[in-house]
Structures are given as structure tokens and as C-alpha cells.
Amino acid sequence: MKKIINRTDDVLTEMLDGLTYAHDELVARVNETGIITRVQHEAGKVGLVSGGGSGHEPAHAGFVGKGMLNAAVCGEVFTSPTPDQILEAIKLADQGSGVFLIIKNYSGDVMNFEMAKDLAEMEGIAVESVIVDDDIAVEDSTYTAGRRGVAGTVLVHKILGAAADQGRTLADIKQLAEALVPRVKTLGVALSGATVPGVGHPGFVLEEDEIEFGVGIHGEPGYERTKLQTSRMLAKEIVGKLKKEVQWTAGDHVALLVNGLGATPLMEQYIFMNDVKALMAEEGLIVAFKKVGNVMTAIDMAGLSLTLLSLTDDWLDLLHYPVQTIAW
């Protein structure tokens, strides 16, 4: 394992300390916990909390700040945070109007976030939540019943964060989330596995000319191993699968996110986006919002994913709403 780290046991704590040192004008770490919180919350607004295992940087701590999350709860690498830490984050995020939890669909996260929700409600805090399951690759998976939550989660952070900043109520945000999540769809392709520091070797190994479609952000199996293909063919496969799922029609307005999985340079992400562009034109879709970069990584996995969000209502405005975060 070739990584710039110290003791593998210290990866989480040292990473969070480095992150908060680098961005102390925006975020702070709560004591020795995995909680990264805004330096300043705003009274009266609904608080947004997300999180999960670490190893997906900049998610989720990179999206803490005005206009997005109030706090991110960071578990050990690829491991759900504990309910007591999530509860503490909920308390911090509560500014008198309740707290909304954005949970990626992994069994551990769902269990622990829901337990924290129950505990917070017993303490009199109004809490609502949504489970994001945007990955269309497979049903059920190594750590998941149903579909996995992946890069599309960041678009959920963005849109709900803007709504919260506008002062919408907890009930409004819950309603928005329930309309939003079913319209966020993602599919990825991996060129290599990810190495968890505490494990020391890649979770899976692909041959030099081999790729895998639909791999999860913890290296969970995808739906097909095949030979390396051109960017154009990768885009065709992924857009084709998204089309089957979304069943769009020409003229629909969509948002696109090309997400690098950690080790894939921007060069490749932009080339892929250029191929997606051509397919969007063929389909007659109006691409009203685009983003390219590493937002939800899988440590040092090579590969990328494409997220497509079918826009409606004022979602485009919410995507463009200004934020103050490390990584949006």
C-alpha cells in the first residue's frame, strides 16, 4: 500500500484535523469526534445533517457551510458513524426549526441515522429524513438492501441546502426531498479498486485491459466486467442505462454531474463529459446545469460516474443558489 499517511488507525482523526485546519474560516471539528460543523449556524432555519463512512472526500465535510449542510458526521473509512455522534450533530444543527437528515442507502447508515433520529425526537427535536438511493447499477448489494446512495447525494445536499437557507419549513423540505430523490439517478464505471488504509490492498483487482460497470463507492460489485473501451462507448453504455431508467423525452430539462472516483484526472472527466454532451444532443435533452469533478470519491479508485437529475419546479434555481463550502 502506497499512501501518504501515518498510522492507519490515525487516518480519520488526522484527515479531519488537516481539513479543519485548512478551512477554519468555514468549518470546525467538534472535539475529537467525527463531526464537522459550520463555524456559524443561522437561527431559525432548518438544520441539514448528512454523513457516513469516510473515504469519499470531499463528501460530506466538503459540503458543510451556508447554503448546504450544517454538519457532516464522518465515520471511520467505509464505516457508518455511530448513533451518538449523529445525535450530537443533530443537536448542533438544530436552530429551533428542526433537523433534516440526508442518508445514503447503506444498511449501517440507515440504522444508525434512524436510531439517532429517534433519540433526538425523544429529546424534543423535530427530525425528518430522506434515504438517497440514486445508483441504478444493481438492486441489493454488499452493504445495502435496495439501491446504493452515491454521487447524486451531493445534488440532494445542494438543493435541500438551498431550500433550508431560504427559510423553508421542515415539512416543506421533507416534501421537496421526496420529490427530488426519485429523480436523481447515477451510474459509474471503475478502472481500478480502492485501497482502504486499514486493509492495505485493493478491495478488488481489474486486469490492465478490464473495467467494471456499476461498481459501488466502497468497491461493491457492479453488473458487468468487460474490456476497456473508448470514452465514447462508456458514455453510450451509461447514458443508455440511465435512459431506460428515467425514460426521458426530448425537451426535458436535466442537470448532469460527472464525478471522479478519486484517481481519475480531470482530463478524462472532461473528455467523458464531451461524449455525454453529444449523446444529450442526440436525445434532445436541455442540459441546464453541469458539474465535473471529484465530489463523491472512493478513496483512490480510478473511474467516474454520471448523475442525471430530471429538473422540475425551481430546482435549477436551487442548484445555482450561492453557497459557502469547501468543495461545491
- 3 lines the binding site for a second copy (CB under 8 A): yes
Phi-psi region at 20: left, alpha or beta (left = phi > 0; alpha = psi -120 to 50): alpha
Exactly one of 114, 268, 283, 314 binds a second copy (CB under 8 A); that residue is 268
Give the Å distances, CA to CA, from 80 to 112, 137, 225: 7, 22, 28
Q: Whose Cβ is closer to a second copy: residue 135's or residue 275's? A: 275
- 37 lines the binding site for a second copy (CB under 8 A): no
Determine which helix (DSSP H) or strand (DSSP E) holds 186, and give its type and residue range.
strand 184-190
Q: Which of 39, 75, 45, 47 is nearest to 59 (CA)?
A: 75
Catalytic residue from among 23, 56, 60, 157: 56
Q: How many helices (H) and strands (E) in the chain?
A: 8, 12
- 32 lines the binding site for a second copy (CB under 8 A): no
The residues in 233-252 that bind a second copy, with binding defined as CB under 8 A, are 234
Angle at 78 between CA 72 and CA 79, to 5 degrees: 75
Residue 322 Cβ, how far from a second copy at the closest point, in Å? Answer: 12
Rounded to whole angstroms, the Cα distance separating 240 from 11 reads 39
Q: Is 218 a catalytic residue?
A: yes
Q: Is 201 a catalytic residue?
A: no
Exactly one of 133, 160, 300, 311 binds a second copy (CB under 8 A); that residue is 300
Exactly one of 178, 230, 245, 312 binds a second copy (CB under 8 A); that residue is 230
Contact between 47 and 99 under an 8 Å Cβ cutoff? The reply is yes
The residues in 163-192 that bind a second copy, with binding defined as CB under 8 A, are 189, 191-192
Query: How, if at all, do strands 303-310 and 99-104 pair?
Result: unpaired
Q: How many CB atoms lie within 10 A of CB 231?
A: 17
Exactly one of 9, 18, 40, 179 binds a second copy (CB under 8 A); that residue is 18
The residues in 54-113 that bind a second copy, with binding defined as CB under 8 A, are 54-55, 57-58, 62
Catalytic residues: 56, 218
Site residues for a second copy per CB under 8 A = 2-6, 11, 14-19, 21-23, 54-55, 57-58, 62, 189, 191-192, 208-209, 211, 228, 230-232, 234, 258, 262-275, 277, 290-292, 294, 297, 299-300, 302-304
